[in-house]
Amino acid sequence: MREPHPLWSLAGIGMHGCGLFFLPLVIGACVTGLMGAAEVAETGDVFLLLCFVFIGPPMVLQLVGIVLRVARERKMARATGQPSGEFLSTLHRHVSIITSRGWGALGTGIIFICLSLSFKWASLGMLAVFCLVLFYGVLGYASFVSTFQVKAFASGMGRAQSEVQRAFQPAVIQAGEAVEERFTLRQVPVPAGFNLLIEDRNPAVLQTESRYTVGAGARSREIRLSGGIRVTPRGLHHVGPARVYFQDLFGLTRTSVASLATGTLKVLPPFRALEIVAPPRSRQGAPDVITQPHRYATEDYFRFKEYVPGDDTRRIHWRLSVRTGKLVVRQPETREITTQSVVLLLDSYLPQGQLLKDAIGMGEILDRLVETWISMAKELQDRGTQVSLVTVADDGSGKLVAEVVDAGTGSRRRWQDLGARVRWQGVMDLPTLAREVGENAHAVAVSSRFTAPPPEPLPGQTFTWIYLPPQEALTPPVPKGLHVLLQGKVFEYVKTAVRLPGPAGSDENTFVREVLDYLDQSAVYKARYRLFHRAQRLGSGTMKKLIARGETVYRLVPGAGRHKLEGISAGSGSVL
């Protein structure tokens, strides 16, 4: 979840902490002075007294509640081992007690005050007073709840029978499969006149926001809430902590209680069929560790020799034997002999700096690499080849470590588990991983580098590249929401606004939500834009550098159901 900028947090703290209390007084005084409403000035003392009665207590209660809630949340975070976050963002969240509907009510009251003073309209002034009294009355009650009754929530959450649990069912799935998010609430205290709200923006790749509401019934029984996840891409997705709020029945205020309930969803990469379209043929006749050996005799890839007792009679070439007058059998060339040991390297390295930061815009490229990586391991193992998988992956706690999995001793589910924990990283480059390749083994690297690897030779009998050119895999970013409007496509934006991006009445249809979505998506959009132009500029050069190394190179062409491998170079810098 994106943390607000410190300056944005400071502005929000000032507006919510002081602005909403002094705004009616400042605007009323300015309008009175400009309009010359002398009769209003005569009642200024009474007006200030009323403001002190209706606005003062909510202000004091809110300030006290903010101090207590921030202290409790940071204490709970330390007790549960969860990160407490930046102090300014935590303070901003607890100060932001007014909802958009609440700001609308306050704004309506202030507008009515301005109009009543301008036109000396007493009836409209009464309506303005009613709006403001309602607003500050609800705010005062919400501040009272946040100051005293939120403590019941914190103390209640310490009991074994009172808790908020979050989980995914199932917790481990294949990419693209359906999964359900579940919240379980047991005897969670909800004050009278309030609803309990649970919200979480979740990682952007899931394209799903968590929103749940429960009433006072959560105090006495167990309640289960569930919702589906729209998109389930490969990866280890850590969600939470979810934000818990108390919202009044009018929807004017929202009191942040704490950030609780984390969860982890592991999405495994699928196996894909691999099709070798045009395997490169080595001039030296050396075995190709990727090319599928021929299982049946063909005249194109087999030599012939005279039959001797003990040869396989099924390989006798009868037509040639008749022509020569002696029995002739087909003899397989060396390319049918499978290698004894292959180490599959997954190259997820990007240089530290802007390129690594922009990796948020090319998650699908890493998905295709991982799928090809484990699918090649399956293909080679089915041929009887000894295979090892090597990569840098998340150990589950966020730390990146190099992992080696022997495909002969582990199940294929373990390969998928390793593939799910892979992410773009700037810690270990390919030469570091290649140290796991012995001198008697063959190495295969699955990569989509923007730059060629270091020039030093890589170990192993042979080294083969399966390369996904980033300039072919990356497409221009697709503008959405405010991106369309900012690009000058006003008509397309109007069509989207008329159709409503979300269900009728949902927050997704509001302009404020569009702005928030734009702020969340702009980083990904800009990263994708920079990556696309960088790939177009440097992508072809990287392919030429790989070919110039004199190693076998395949081009990876991803597909919906299967991936294709096109032979580009057979080594020694030759292009086929």
Q: How many CB atoms sit inside 10 A of residue 373's CB?
A: 27
SS3 content of the chain, % helix, strand, coil (to 5): 45, 25, 30
**Which pair of tokens denotes residue 145?**
């709840």
**Which pair of tokens denotes residue 386?**
């000894």
**DSSP characters over 407-462:** TTTS-HHHHHHHHHTB--BSS--HHHHGGGS-TTSEEEEEE--SSPPPSSPPPSS-
**Which pair of tokens denotes residue 237?**
């997705």
Please state, in angstroms and rounded to a whole number, the distance separating the CA atoms of residues 169 and 181: 6
pLDDT for res 295: 47
Q: How many CB atoms sit inside 10 A of residue 52's CB?
A: 11
What are the residue ranges in the chain where pLDDT is below 50? 1, 84, 158, 160, 283-285, 294-301, 333-337, 339, 574, 576
pLDDT for res 246: 84
pLDDT in tens, 449-471: 888 888 888 888 888 999 999 88
pLDDT for res 438: 81
Residue type, position 167, single letter:
A
Residue type, position 287, single letter:
P
User: Which long-range CB contacts under 8 A does 146-149 form with residues at least 24 apart?
Assistant: 146/61, 146/62, 146/65, 146/69, 146/97, 146/246, 146/255, 147/61, 147/64, 147/65, 147/68, 149/189, 149/191
pLDDT for res 563: 92
**Which pair of tokens denotes residue 495?**
């069509």
Q: What is the pTM of this model?
A: 0.74
List of residues 6+ apart from 110 with CB closer than 8 A: 23, 24, 27, 128, 132
- Give, in degrees to the nearest 5, the angle at Cα 131 between 507 and 133: 120
Q: Where are the alpha helices (DSSP H) in 145-294?
A: 150-156
Closest by Cα among 144, 169, 327, 331 to 246: 144
Please state, in angstroms and rounded to a whole number, the distance separating the CA atoms of residues 419 and 392: 10
pLDDT for res 181: 93
pLDDT for res 232: 93
Residue 17 and residue 100 in contact, taking contact as beta carbons nearer than 8 Å: no
pLDDT in tens, 491-531: 666 666 665 666 655 666 666 677 777 777 788 888 888 88
List of residues 6+ apart from 299 with CB closer than 8 A: none
Q: Where are the alpha helices (DSSP H) in 478-510?
A: 482-486, 490-499
Is the backbone peptide bond immediately before 170 cis, with ω within 30 degrees of 0?
A: yes
Closest by Cα among 500, 523, 529 to 513: 500
Q: Phi first, then psi: what are they for 534, rounded to 5°? A: -70, -40
**DSSP characters over 396-418:** SSS-EEEEEEETTTS-HHHHHHH
pLDDT for res 158: 46
Kindly list the structural domains of the chain, giving each domain's residue range(s) and its CATH number in brackets, ordered by start.
Answer: 6-156 (no CATH), 163-268 (2.60.40.10), 294-336 (no CATH), 341-570 (no CATH)
**Which pair of tokens denotes residue 397?**
């706690």
